[in-house]
Amino acid sequence: MLRLSKKAEYALMALKDLASRPEPEAASAREIAERYGIPVELMAKVLQRLTKTDLLASHHGTHGGYLLARPASRISVADVIEAIDGPIMVTSCTTADDECDQYATCNIRDPLWRIKDQILHALTSYSLQALAADELPLVPISLTRRVPDEDAVLGRAPVESR
């Protein structure tokens, strides 16, 4: 299943927290971790990785902590995920992969690569600023219900139209 790692989720939560502040204000790993019930040590590691990838800047001292390294409008959700988890992938092969026994005969590789490109486009198009403002993505995607209702499962029309 396509799913973000917990570290990527924590990174997005921390960056959304920083981007949502009315004025640029440094926050410590402890402050962010406690606000969201995340282990402090884990949050510190996530923030350090974001600093190494130039998404955050860290400042030491009494008013130290972490700040966004650039405007939230210039940081994409894809930037954050890739900083934590590496390249976004849907299949185990990424390019011409001689190590895969099925590479030459694979009938799903190219369609899945196109799906991956669409996912990457959506994540690249959605900025941290949009995430902080809880805006809808601009990329046309269809949103479906997570849990089907009984009528849909049984093929019945909804109650309103019966």
Task: Look at 64-73, 107-116, 132-141 and tell me which has the smallest mean pLDDT.
Answer: 132-141
Tens digit of pLDDT for each residue in 142-157?
545 445 555 555 555 5
User: How many domains does the chain divide into?
Assistant: 1
Q: What share of the chain is helix, strand, coil (3-state, %, to 5)?
A: 50, 5, 45
* Domain range enclosing 58: 6-132
**Nearest Cα to 37, choosing from 4, 76, 3, 6?**
6
Task: Look at 27-31, 78-82, 156-160 and tell me which has the smallest mean pLDDT.
Answer: 156-160
Tens digit of pLDDT for each residue in 44-80?
999 999 999 999 999 988 878 999 999 999 999 999 9
Residue 162 has pLDDT above 50, yes or no: no
Cα–Cα distance measured from residue 7 to residue 39, given in angstroms and rounded to the nearest whole number? 11
Cα–Cα distance measured from residue 114 to residue 88, given in angstroms and rounded to the nearest whole number? 13
In a domain, 157, yes or no: no
In a domain, 55, yes or no: yes
In a domain, 115, yes or no: yes
Cα–Cα distance measured from residue 83 to residue 85, given in angstroms and rounded to the nearest whole number? 6
pTM: 0.79
User: Domain holding 116: CATH number?
Assistant: 1.10.10.10
